[in-house]
Amino acid sequence: METGLAAFSLEELAALRAEARENRAWPFEEARKLVARYPEGFPAGGVLFETGYGPSGLPHIGTFGEVARTTMVRRAFELMCPGVPTRLVAFSDDMDGMRKVPPGLPSEELLAAHLDRPLTAVPDPFGTHDSFGAHNNARLRAFLDRFGFDYQFLSATDCYRSGRFDRVLLLILERYEEVRDVVLPTLGPERRATYSPFLPLCPRTGRVLQVPIVERDLAAGTIGYDDPETGERVTVPVTGGHVKCQWKVDWAMRWVALGVDYEMAGKDLIDSVTLSSRIARILGARPPEGFTYELFLDAEGAKISKTRGNGLTIEEWLAYAPPESLALYMYQQPRVAKKLHAGVIPKAMDDYFQFATAFASQPAKERLGNPVFHVHNGPPPPLPPVSFSLLLNLVAAAGQANPHLIGEYLQRYAPACDPVGDLRLAAMIEHALAFHRDHVARTLARRAPDPREAAALAELDRWLADHPDAPAEAIQDEVYEIGKRHGFQPLRAWFQALYEVLLGRSEGPRMGTFIALYGPANTRRLIAESLAEPA
């Protein structure tokens, strides 16, 4: 999706950098937290951003949102602080025990035999990778690569086993009681009795155990527990992948071990962020800067749940619109709970079109507040000649799912466009046809005009017959005048009548542009059909 800052001249780039220091767009406000984090100068390794992922399921639209938003903050920081290295880590918690078999997978009996084992120790039910965790990690990486995100993938299993976390794990062992005391007040009585920051991996079964820790040896770096099945006392080191941390402790441990400077999280994790931040401070580190984003709602305003399946999948969005429209939707009002369903897609597309159209003529301040700057980390690529809503109305009026016919209309309206060779425009046409088929066609219901509307339509028909080559602005002006002459008050009632009678919907496009695009002759055919309908 990125076009990049290289598209700007040196003069433009200097103006943007100067403006970025004060700009109020939320990615710049977040980036300034990182500047304030290092008042004495940035470390040699630069600044580390992180997003986390639980690989018990496949990446989803929320995964895209978190990585896209984090990338927007990262790019804002890079504009403000050129030359400071940055990295984005996509961290997979693949050492977590599989607590239940995810629905809809093949070989459920095989998976059920491996409950509580790390996801990277569970066989891959698809037979394509060494483990179920590896399979889903591959899907995550393919997902992120598909959208061109720049990231470094890290596996919890690899980090634990390689010793990368050993120093901090030993520190947790040393400060065991302090860490435990932070978590205990948040637990119920039963869980409190058995809680430990460490989850040992059973040497006998390979399962991740939630058992009381009865021995700790700081010098040896070990913990001891009683095997829940055999009763035998078992001693394991906390290093080298023999234990993993409970997830809230794990989150803090990861921040400290990796040196994470920035990580955002959803509103549902506010308490977890607070708790993990306290643990990070106990471990002698400063927790990362962060941002709390709101969660999405379904069409009825209920919280989206993977279990209920009431959300919109990323594949569904991309069936009707390109990734940049989804990125723009993620940019807009991230602290406001927004509905996420197919009906929001046309507006997201038209918002993108509007912002991208305005970008070229904007000064630096307005450019940095323009969402398309953050979607592309620079100027948007060339735009199609029409908005998505206008294209949808064209498809509805054409009455047939024929991309070649739609392309002919577009070329007549904008001769320089190439509906076949321009892959972005060709994709937009296919998106419009798909959205019309799945979400618009069944809602269309043209009505007959009343006598006043019929008289106004007849006048419009005569004017179009006399002005077959009129440009869009001239058509728009005449449509206004006809509405006034026929006494429509307010005037929007005339436009609503045009939409309902000619297009079968209560809302519609700018009529002058639509008629110029669809063609006066075709519009006259629609008018003739409407006037032939009995009132």
**Fold for domain 5-165+247-293?**
Rossmann fold (3.40.50)
- Asked whether the predicted pLDDT for residue 133 surpasses 60, the reply is yes
The total of other beta-carbon atoms located within 10 Å of residue 211's CB is 16
Q: Which amino acid is at 479?
A: V
- Asked whether the predicted pLDDT for residue 309 surpasses 70, the reply is no
Q: Are 254 and 280 in contact (CB under 8 A)?
A: no
- Asked whether the predicted pLDDT for residue 29 surpasses 80, the reply is yes
How would DSSP label each residue in 403-460? HHHHHHHHHHHSTT--TTT-HHHHHHHHHHHHHIIIIIGGG-------HHHHHHHHHH
| Interacting residues of 159 by C-beta distance below 8 A, sequence separation 6+ | 165, 254, 257
Asked if the domains at 5-165+247-293 and 185-245 fall in one CATH topology, the answer is no
Q: Extract the tokens encoding 245.
A: 């941390």
Indicate the pLDDT class of residue 335, thresholds 50, 70 and 90. Answer: very high
- pLDDT one-digit tens code per residue, 275-288: 999 999 999 999 99
Question: Domain boundaries in the chain?
Answer: 5-165+247-293, 185-245, 388-443, 451-532
- Asked whether the predicted pLDDT for residue 535 surpasses 60, the reply is no
Q: Find how far residue 270's CA is from the centre of its chain.
A: 20
Q: Are 56 and 119 in contact (CB under 8 A)?
A: yes
What dihedral angle (degrees, nearest 10) is formed by the CA atoms of 176, 179, 183, 184? 40
Is the domain spanning 185-245 CATH 2.30.30? The answer is yes
What stretch of H or E contains 478? helix 472-485
pLDDT of residue 310: 67
Q: Extract the tokens encoding 488.
A: 């429509």
pLDDT of residue 85: 98
How does strand 152-155 pair with strand 198-200? Answer: unpaired
Q: Where are the beta strands (DSSP E) in 139-267?
A: 152-155, 198-200, 215-217, 222-226, 233-237, 243-245, 265-266
pLDDT of residue 25: 97
pLDDT of residue 325: 96
Distance CA 496, CA 10 (A): 48
- pLDDT one-digit tens code per residue, 210-234: 999 999 999 999 999 999 999 999 9
| In the chain, % of residues over pLDDT 70 | 98
pLDDT of residue 148: 93
- The candidate with the shortest Cα–Cα distance to 125, out of 149, 101, 93, 141, is 101
Backbone CA torsion sign across 204, 206, 210, 214? positive
**Mean pLDDT of all residues belonging to the chain:** 94
Q: Extract the tokens encoding 262.
A: 């920035």
pLDDT of residue 301: 83
pLDDT of residue 298: 85
| In the chain, % of residues over pLDDT 90 | 86
- pLDDT one-digit tens code per residue, 384-406: 999 999 999 999 998 888 999 99
pLDDT of residue 527: 96
- The candidate with the shortest Cα–Cα distance to 59, out of 122, 160, 151, is 151
- Asked whether the predicted pLDDT for residue 71 surpasses 80, the reply is yes
* Residues comprising the chain, all counted: 535
Architecture of domain 451-532: Orthogonal Bundle (1.10)
